[in-house]
Structure 1
Amino acid sequence: MEIIRVEGIAKSYGKHQVHNDLTLSIKQGECFTLLGPSGCGKTVLLRLIAGFETPDAGKIFIDNTVVSDPAGGITISPDRRGLGVVFQDYAVWPHMTVFDNVGYPLKIAKVPKNELKDRVMASIEMVGMSGLERRLPSELSGGQQQRVALARALVANPSVMLLDEPLTNLDANLREEMRFEIKELQRKLNITVLYVTHDQEIALAISDRLAIMDEEGRIRQTGNPWEIFERPADSFVFSFMGIANFIPVRRNGEAYLVGDGEQPIPWEAPKGDALNWVAGFRPSDVQIARQGTGLSGLVKRANFLGAMMDYLIEVDGAQLRTSLETHEAIARGLMFKEGEDCVISFRDLLWFNADSLKEVVKQ
C-alpha cells in the first residue's frame, strides 16, 4: 500500500527549474532512497513532502490524504503531516540536554509530563543513549548527536521518517555503524523511511527500493538495489552506481570491432541497428590473464593496494580498470607490471548506444 504519492510535481526558484512533472510513490513500511548527484533536487523533493516548501504544481498525498495541492489551495503544515525529520546538521539545541532535545516536540504538543517522560526515555533507549539523557550536545560525539536527532524524530511516533543526508558529517566508521542502526530501527518499528543521499554504498545497504535522479531532477530508474546495480536502465544509472568501464565498439560490415583497432569482439554482438555501441562493465566483470582467448591489451598502470591489485589496461585506444585480490594474483601469476601484455575477457557486459554516453555523470 502506498503511504506517499507525488503526482506531477513542479518546483522552480526563479528561472531555475528543479522539478517538472515528477511522479513518485513510496510503499508503507519500506526504506526508500532518493539517490543522485549533488544539486539534482533530492533535498528539495524531501522538503516538499515535509511541507517546508510548496510546489508550483502537482499534488502530494500522505496516507491517501492530500497534503499539498496548489491548484486546489491545499497546504497542510509540516506539524500536521505525521512525519519525523532528521537533517544533515543534526539541528540539536546546544543549550538543552539530551532529554529536553528529544522531548521538545512533545512539550510543544502539550503532552502530559508523565507520558512525556516515558516516551522520551523509550526513544532514548531505542537509539542506544540510555544513561546520557542529562548530557548537553557539547558533551556528545557526532554519532551520539545524530542519535539524539533520531530519537527526537521518533518520539512523536511518526508514520514516516524523512532523513536528509543524516550521516554526511560522520567519519567512515560511524557512517557504517549508523547506516545499519537506521535500517534495524526501520525494521523493528516497521515505519516508512525516505532517505536522501548521494552515497551509493549507503543507498545499496539500507534500501528496499531506490530512485536514481539525474542532474535535471528527473527520475531515471526506480527499483530494488539489485535491479539498479545489475540491470541499470541506461548509461547514466550504470555510471552513477560505481566505477564504470566503457569500451567503444563499431560495426564494420558484419563485424564488430573494438576501439580504434581491428580486434573483433569475442562475445555476442549487440542487438540493434546502430553503427556505434559501447560495452559497459564493472572492474569486477573483467578477467585478466597472460594468455588465452579474449582481447589483447597492455597494462598501463599497476597499483598494489594491500589486499587488492588495481590495473589500468589499454585495449585499442580504450582504457579500462580491473582489480583482483593480491593473494589470488600471486597464486595465479597475475602480478603484472606496467608495460606488460595481457589478455582480458568478461563475465558480464551491458550494451549502450554510443550517443547515450554524452549525458553520463562525471564523478
Structure 2
Amino acid sequence: MAIIRVEGIAKSYGTHQVHKDLTLSIERGECFTLLGPSGCGKTVLLRLIAGFETPDAGRISIDDTVVADPAAGIYIPPDRRGLGVVFQDYAVWPHLTVFDNVGYPLKIAKRPKNELKERVMESLEMVGMSGLERRLPSELSGGQQQRVALARALVANSSLMLLDEPLTNLDANLREEMRFEIKELQRRLNITVLYVTHDQEIALAISDRLAIMDDEGRIRQTGNPWQIFERPSDPFVFNFMGIANFVPVRRAGEAYLVGRGEQLIPWEPPKGDAAEWVAGFRPSDVQIAPQGIGLRGTVKRASFLGAMMDYLIEVDGAHLRTSIETHEAISKGLMFKEGETCVISFRDLLWFNAQSLTEVVKQ
C-alpha cells in the first residue's frame, strides 16, 4: 500500500524546468531511494514531498491525504505532514545541547516535560547516543552529529522519514557504518524512508527499491537493486550504475562484426532488425585468457591496484576494461603486460540499440 503518491508533478524556477509530469509511488515500510546525478532534481522532489516547496502542477498525497494540489488550492505545511527530515548539513543548533536539539520539535509542539524527556532519551538510545545528551555539537564528531539529526527526526514518532544526502559530509568509514545503521533503524522501527543520494553504492546497500533519475529530472527506471544493476532499462541507467563497457557491433548480412574489424561475435546475436548495436557489460563480466575461443584483443594498459589487476583492452578499435584478483592472475598465468595479445569472452552482457547510446556518449 502506497504511503506517498506523486502524480503529474511539475516544478520550474523561472525558465528552468526541473520536473514535468513526474509520477512516483512509495510503499509503506520500504526504504526507497532517489538516485541520480547532481542537479537532476532529487532534492527538489524531496522538498516538494516535505512541503518546503510547492508544485506548479500535479498532486502529492501522504497516507491518503492530499498535501499539495495547486489546482484545488490545497497546501498543508511541513509541520502538519507527519514526517521527519534529515538534511545533508545536519542542521543541528550549535548553541543547544544534544538533548535540546533532539527535543526541539516536541518543545515547539508544547508536549509535557516528562513526555519530552522520555521520548528524547528513547530516541537517543535508538541511535546509540545515550550518555551524550548534555554535550554541545562542537564536542561531537561528524557521525555523532548526524545521529543527533536522526534522533531529532525520530523523536516525533513519524512513520515516514525523508533523508537528503545525510552521509555526504562523513568520511568513507563513517559513511559505511551509518548506512547500515540507517537501514537497521528502518527495519527495527518499521518506518518508511525516502532517501536521496547520488552515491550508487549507498543506494544499492540500503534500498528495497530505487528510482534512477536523469539530468532532465525524469525517472528512467524503478526497481529493486538487482533489477537496476543487472537489468537496466537503457544505456543511461547501465552507465550511471557503475563502470560500463560499450562495444559497438555492426550487422553485415547475416553476420555480426565487432568494432571496425572482421571478428564475428562469439555470443548469441541481438534480437531485432537494427544494423548497429552496442554490447554492454561490466568489467566483472569479462573473462581474459592468453589463448582460446573468444575475441582477440591487445592489452593497452595494465594497472596493478594491490588486490586487483585492471586491464584496458582494445578489440578492433573498441576499448573495454576488465579486472581480476591479483592472486588469481598470478596463479592462472593472467599477468599481462602492455602490448601483449589476449582472448576475451563474456559471462554476461546486454544489448542496446546503438541509437540509444547517443545521450550517454554526450555526458
Indicate the SS of the match to 2:7: strand
Aligned pairs for 1:66-81 within 5 A: 66-81=66-81
Deviation at 1:182, TM superposition (A): 0.1
Provide, for residues 74-132 of structure 1, a one-character-per-residue CA deviation record: whole Å limited to 9, x for no partner. 00000000010000000000000000000000000000000000000000010000111
Spell out the pairing of 1:245-284 with structure 2 (5 A cutoff): 245-284=245-284
Question: In the aligned structure 2, how far is the partner of 1:276 from the partner of 1:152?
Answer: 55
- Partners of 1:19 and 1:321 in 2: how far apart? 35
The one-letter code of the counterpart of 1:101 is N
Q: Contact between 1:93 and 1:101, CA under 8 Å: does it hold in 2?
A: yes
Aligned-residue offset at 1:358: 1.0
Which residue number corresponds to residue 186 of structure 2?
186
> What whole-Å deviation, never above 9, does each CA across 1:284-339 have from its counterpart, x for those lacking one?
00000000000000000001111100000000000000001000000000000111
Matched residue, 1:304:
304
One-letter amino acid of the counterpart of residue 353, structure 1: N
The amino acid of 2:196's aligned partner reads V
Shift of residue 362 of structure 1? 6.8
| SS at 1:360 equivalent | helix
Partner of residue 223, structure 1: 223
> Which one-letter code corresponds to 2:27 in the other structure?
K
Paired with 1:321 and 1:86, the residues of 2 have a C-alpha distance of: 38
Q: Specify the code of the residue in structure 2 equivalent to 1:147.
A: R
Distance in 2, Cα, partners of 1:187 & 1:204: 16
On the 8 A contact 1:309/1:325 being kept in 2, the answer is yes
Cα distance in 1 for residues equivalent to 2:338 and 2:139: 52
Q: Distance in 2 between matches of 1:335 and 1:160?
A: 51
Give yes or no for contact 1:213–1:220 (8 Å, CA) kept in 2: yes
What does residue range 81-230 of structure 1 map to in structure 2 within 5 Å?
Answer: 81-230=81-230
TM-score by length of 2: 0.99
CA contact (8 A) 1:239 1:361 kept: no
- Alignment of structure 1 residues 277-356 onto 2, 5 Å: 277-356=277-356
Q: What's the secondary structure of 2:177's corresponding residue?
A: helix
Distance 2:193 2:315 in 1: 45
**3-state SS of 1:151 partner:** helix
Aligned amino acid, residue 352 of structure 2: F
Match in the other structure for 2:16 = 16
Q: Any idea what the Cα deviations from partners look like across 1:164-212, whole Å, max 9, x if unmatched? A: 0000000000000000000000000000000000000000000000000
Q: Secondary structure of 2:175's partner?
A: helix
Q: Distance in 2 between matches of 1:83 and 1:359?
A: 37
**Any idea what the Cα deviations from partners look like across 1:136-170, whole Å, max 9, x if unmatched?**
00000000000000000000011210000000000
Q: Secondary structure at the match of 2:10?
A: strand
Q: Distance in 1 between matches of 2:355 and 2:361?
A: 14
Structure 1 residues 284, 91: CA separation in 2 closer, same or farther (over 3 Å shift)?
A: same
Percent of paired sites with the same residue: 88
**One-letter identity of the residue aligned with 2:280:** G
Unaligned runs of 5+ in 1: none
- Structure 1 Cα separation of the partners of residues 124 and 196 of structure 2: 24
- Once the two structures are TM-superposed, the CA of residue 361 in structure 1 deviates from its matched residue by 7.1
Equivalent-residue separation in structure 1 for 2:362 and 2:146 (angstroms):
31
Report the 3-state secondary structure (helix = DSSP H, G, I; strand = E; otherwise coil) of the residue aligned with 2:248: strand
**SS of residue in 2 equivalent to 1:299:** strand
Q: Where does 1:16-95 land on structure 2 (aligned, <5 Å)?
A: 16-95=16-95
Q: Which residue of 1 aligns with 2:234?
A: 234
Separation of aligned partners in 2, 1:82 and 1:346: 50
Structure 1 residues 301 and 351: CA distance shift in structure 2, 3 A: same
1-structure distance, mates of 2:142, 2:229: 31
Paired residue type of 1:155: V
Aligned length: 363
RMSD: 0.7
- Name structure 2 gaps, 5 residues minimum: none
Indicate the SS of the match to 1:67. Answer: strand
CA distance in 1, matches of 2:177, 2:206: 12
**Contact 1:240–1:361 (8 Å) recurs in 2:** no
SS class of match (2:296): strand
Distance 1:226 1:362 in 2: 27
Supply the distance in 2 between the matched residues of 1:359 and 1:82 (Cα, whole angstroms).
40
Report the residue type matching 2:6 in the other structure: V
Give 1:360 shift: 1.6
Match of 2:91, as an amino acid? A
> Is contact 1:236–1:361 with CA below 8 Å preserved after alignment?
no
Q: Secondary structure at the match of 1:280?
A: strand
SS at the partner of 2:12? strand
